[in-house]
Amino acid sequence: MQDAYRLSARLFGLFAVTVLSALNDVIAAPESRLLFSSGFEGSTALEPPGQCWKTGCWQNVVGTDTTTGFSWPPVIGGASTLRFQMLVGAPVTASTVEDYISNEIQTVIGPRGRPTRAMYSVLKKRGEGYCCTQNTFNLQPVTDPGDLYISYWLKYQPDLIASMNNQWRMVFEWKTAGDYRITVRVATYRGAAPYWIVIGDNEANGGLPYERYWEIPNKSLPVPIGKWFKVEVFWHRSADNDGRIWVAVDGRVIADRRGPNVGIHNKPINRIMMPNLYTGGVYPAYHWIDDIEIWDGFPPPNGNNPPYAPH
């Protein structure tokens, strides 16, 4: 009888430990929240370029996406803007900037094979004598947003290889207020077939001598050309080994870097370019983007915007 009692007590103890462990897991890993979602539907619209300075202009996205219920711009990191920063590098005005760069919401066949509204962006020509004409779809949080997951669908032009001209093209980028940068890019250096590179460096407009902290090339997953593919990016910022930069394309991880990702001055992220239409190649350079999502952590794997890469 005593042995049966002891066995029952042990089983109850194991059950209690299992339940407590499961509860702790739930407490330690709360569900992430969807912060913003839009496929440029509903009353989403582009305002004309404006707020120009000598060599560039801003262009705002406004309105409400009635399919998701979210309005432009998203509120990330206390408050933020998400708009196009049209960097020409040559003298422009609101009426001439579109000679170099333009954006347009178009109705096209989307990632799921159905008509959809998507954002079309094109670099038409460079500012004379300037290396860095670019069209950044720029999210600017007021405070560092902490852990973020961002995904969107992207479609490159069918002559991507010729337009890259053995150079690079940005896929995603974030910068701090001067001391750290993450870039995801496609490269075709020395005539190679297009491949992915994820880089951590200090090129964040802070005047620091250039330093590349790490680089992860990936040639195992082909770069889709002339068709839609899904980009996923997640990060956890830390000065220690629990920092993480995770990037996936079409449900496959192309980089998962663990380690420090904070700059020498511990500056906050203040620019997230999702994506940055920017290339070392020749023009015209263009793409379409659709179905943007921003979460404060990894989304549930059974969401409505597959594929989702394992994490």
Sorted by sequence, the CB contacts under 8 Å of residue 287 that are 6+ apart come out as: 120, 121, 154, 155, 156, 157, 275, 277
Q: Are residues 146 and 6 in the same domain?
A: no
Q: Are residues 71 and 4 in the same domain?
A: no
In a domain, 301, yes or no: no
Domain that holds residue 25: 1-30
Q: Are residues 192 and 233 in the same domain?
A: yes
Q: Are residues 271 and 251 in the same domain?
A: yes
What was the pLDDT predicted at 20?
A: 39
The model's confidence at residue 130, banded by pLDDT at 50, 70 and 90, is: low
**Rounded Cα distance, 46 and 69, in Å:** 18
Number of separate domains in the chain: 2
* Predicted TM-score of the model (pTM): 0.89
**Rounded Cα distance, 173 and 148, in Å:** 13
Q: Give the mean pLDDT of 191-206.
A: 97
What's phi and psi for 157, nearest 5 deg? -60, 150
pLDDT at 15 over 50: no
Q: Are residues 52 and 130 in the same domain?
A: yes
In a domain, 3, yes or no: yes
User: 42-56, 65-79, 254-268 — which is least confidently predicted?
Assistant: 65-79
What was the pLDDT predicted at 77?
A: 82
